[in-house]
Every structure is written in C-alpha cells, then in structure tokens.
Amino acid sequence: GGCAALLALLARWRRRRADYPETSPLPSVTLLIAAYNEEAVIAAKLRNSLALDYPRDRLQILVAADGSDDRTAEIVASFADAGVEMSYRPTRSGKMAAIIRAMSAARGEIVVFSDANNSYAPDTLRRLVAPFADPAVGAVSGAKTIARGGDGLSQSEGLYWKYESFIKRQETRLGSCVGAAGEIFAIRRSLFEPPPASTINDDFVMAMQIIRRGYRVVYVPDARSTEVVSPSAADEIARRARMVAGRYQALLMAPRLLPPRNPLIIWQVISHKFLRPLVPLALLAALLANLAAVLWPPAAGEMALLWLAPPYATIFAGLQVGFYGLAWLGRRVAHKSFVGKLLYLPTFLVDSNLAAVIGLFRFLTGRQSTLWRRAPRQETTVS
C-alpha cells in the first residue's frame, strides 16, 4: 500500500513515455507457446493464435511441448498445414529448458512468450510490438486479465491482477517495470540471454537481464491476455507457492540481476518483489505479539496503545481472530452468492500468505521442482 502510493507520486514527478503508436512495417514475430500436457486447451490456443490480427507472413507460431505424454504433440502436429511449428522431445526438463531449446528455432525479430491456457485479444500482438519502435525498449509486458467468473476466487484473483496492472503502469512511467506477465511477454530476440534451466520465475529473470543491459521494460495495458483461474483453491495456492519460491531464488541471483548504478530499479525490485513474501511472517509476528500482550498485559500509560496495554490487546486480538474466522468461513460458503464473494476476499488473502509460507519452506528445503505441474484447465476466449 505505502510503496504503491510512493511509486505513484514518483511516477507523476518523473513521467516517461508510455504511449506508442503503431509503426510500419511491423516487425517479424515468433509467438512461442509453452505447452506441457495441454491436450484440453492447446487446440483452442492455436485457433486463437491463428486468428490474431497480424500479417501471417510476419508471424511464426512455435509450440514448445517438451515432455508432453498426452495428445498435446499430436494436436499441435495437426495444425502443421496452417503453419504451426513445434519443438518437441519426449524428455521433460522443465519450462525454461523447453523454451531455451525452442529459441534455436525462433526466427522473429520479436519473440512473444505465451502459455497454452490463455487467449489474446485480436489486436494484442500489434499493441505488444509497438513500443519496440523505440530502440531503448528491450522488452514489453502485456496485461494479464482473469475471465469473469461468478465465484469469489475469480473475482479475488481479478482484483489482484488489477493491482499488479496499476503497479506496472507507474513503474513504466518511471522508466521500467520490474515484473512481466509470463504469458504475454515480448523481447527482442537479439537480447535473449538463456537463464539457468533451473530458473523458476523465468519472466522476472529475463526482464531483469534486459534492464541490467541498459534497456527499458515497458508495460502495455491494452495488450490483453485472458485466462480462467483453476477451479481449485489448492491449485492456486500451489501456483503461488511456486511463484514465491521463485522470488527467493531470484533474491539469491540478485547480485547478477540488479543494475548496480540504478538505485531506483533496485528499490522497485525490493519493494515489489522481495518484501512481499515477508508479509506472512510479519502477520504471524503481529498475532503472536498480540496474544502475548493478552496473556501478559503490559502496564498502561501514555503509550498504552503502542504497547498494547489493556484493553487494546484484547480489541486487536479480537479483530485478528475475527479476520481469520471470516477466512475460514469463506471456504464454506458458496462462492457464487454475494455473501460468498464478500467472504472469499479474506480467504484469498490468507491463502496468498499461506502460499508464501509454503513457497519459503520449499525454497529452503529445495523441494520446489522446476518442472511444471499442470493444473486443471478450462477454455476461455476473448472477444
């Protein structure tokens, strides 16, 4: 909250160019789709990709399907007559390893990284490549949006990505955004520097590599990608835990990623990426301190509120317990009702922080695999 407000103030003071008209001729583009065991959605993704408003002779559609042992490779091969290409080998080595292998077959000046479970708006590629007319721009992130759903999970997830969009807009006005949506992320192919194959948050690492080399990473909110969230809260917790483990991994890589002569970027990364996973530890400390103040009340005085002297300790403990009680209740009420959607907000916040704790544990114990575990997919389309 406070960091976001400060970021917005700085962005008003130091506004950089954030609007980019379409230029001609359009650059050649490789749309690189990472797909592991995506037989349920890959056909819809390829139909969406072939229908994009971009000159077909300047668009290469390439699917990285390494390790898929369902019908994904077979379905992709059925689109060969439409010009779809595939990079495939039976061995499963993880998403980043599959992307690195597929990049050797990429021909476009610009490479757009995408996933199999999202859809692009028809004009997305045109909007995504427009900033590359500025030679200072090395990478562009589009906007991730959540398909409208009647359940609280979809609405809470949608609110989260709207907040992320706000942050990225302010960062772009300052100079560069330090985060990218991996399912709609474009880079100059000439700037691709293969991250370690064990990289978890590949989009963040690639963005920081480009910033360190002196280029800008900008955000284009009008380039839209839409996806349906997993119907299972457990799957969303697992996905977020993986993302948090990736942030801790990136923290260890920071000396190689952060530009030493750009304190603004360093502050953005610390406040946006590295402090956020520490929130659950702060919440736990607050709860324990509050309970300790209830059990062993300090003496009242002029600083009674600060030291949680009676009755403040009991009041704040009640508020915290009440919040966690609402989160518990949010799991047991139908999410499609108005009350269910309202109650699911504290559930979503608690689940997000639970995922951060799980991510920290997996990182510390080395239990976070770089291999993707495919979550159940639902099709989505963009009109």
Phi, psi of 326 (to 5 degrees): -65, -40
Q: Is residue 372 part of a domain?
A: no
Phi, psi of 61 (to 5 degrees): -105, 115
**Cβ density class 310-334: b for 16+ within 10 Å, e for less:** eebbeebbeeeeeeeebbeebeebe
Q: Give helix 338-365 / helix 152-174 axis angle, nearest 10°.
A: 60
> Residues 202, 325: one domain?
no
> Residues 266, 321: one domain?
no
> Residues 40, 133: one domain?
yes
pLDDT score of 226? 93
Q: Is residue 370 part of a domain?
A: no
Do the beta carbons of residue 46 and residue 84 sit within 8 Å?
yes
> Residues 245, 231: one domain?
yes
Q: Is residue 204 part of a domain?
A: yes
Last residue of a domain, one of 256, 274, 292: 274
**Spatial distance between the Cα atoms of 218 and 207, rounded to a whole number of angstroms:** 10
Q: Is residue 353 part of a domain?
A: yes
pLDDT score of 361? 87
Check residues 73 and 304 and name the one with the higher pLDDT.
73
Residue 379 pLDDT more than 60?
no
Confidence band, pLDDT 50/70/90 cuts, at residue 383: very low
> Residues 328, 254: one domain?
no
pLDDT in tens, 234-278: 777 888 888 888 888 888 898 889 999 899 999 999 988 888 778
> Residues 27, 152: one domain?
yes
> Residues 308, 292: one domain?
yes
Confidence band, pLDDT 50/70/90 cuts, at residue 21: confident
Q: Is residue 82 part of a domain?
A: yes
**Spatial distance between the Cα atoms of 190 and 31, rounded to a whole number of angstroms:** 15
Count of domains for the chain: 2
List Cβ neighbours of 303 (8 Å cut-off, separation of 6 or more): none
Q: How many other CB atoms are there within 10 angstroms of residue 57's CB atom?
A: 8
| Amino acid in the structure at residue 172 | T
pLDDT score of 56? 96
> Residues 146, 7: one domain?
yes
> Residues 182, 237: one domain?
yes
Q: Give helix 312-330 / helix 338-365 axis angle, nearest 10°.
A: 100
- In terms of average pLDDT, the best of 55-59, 194-198, 225-229, 352-356 is 55-59
Mean pLDDT, residues 37-45: 96
Residue 123 pLDDT more than 80?
yes
> Residues 253, 357: one domain?
no
pLDDT score of 148? 64
> Which residue in 382, 381, 379 sits closest to 39, CA to CA?
379
> Residues 241, 301: one domain?
no
**Spatial distance between the Cα atoms of 290 and 49, rounded to a whole number of angstroms:** 53
Percent of the chain surpassing pLDDT 70: 86
Confidence band, pLDDT 50/70/90 cuts, at residue 75: very high
Q: Is residue 374 part of a domain?
A: no
Last residue of a domain, one of 239, 254, 274: 274
Least confident of 79-93, 192-206, 269-283, 314-328: 269-283
Enclosing domain of residue 283: 277-365
> Residues 224, 185: one domain?
yes
Do the beta carbons of residue 102 and residue 87 sit within 8 Å?
yes
CATH code at position 230: 3.90.550.10
Mean pLDDT, residues 111-130: 97
Give me the chain's average pLDDT, please: 86
pLDDT in tens, 124-178: 999 999 999 999 999 999 999 887 654 555 566 667 778 888 999 999 999 899 9
3-state helix, strand, coil in the chain (%, to 5): 50, 15, 35
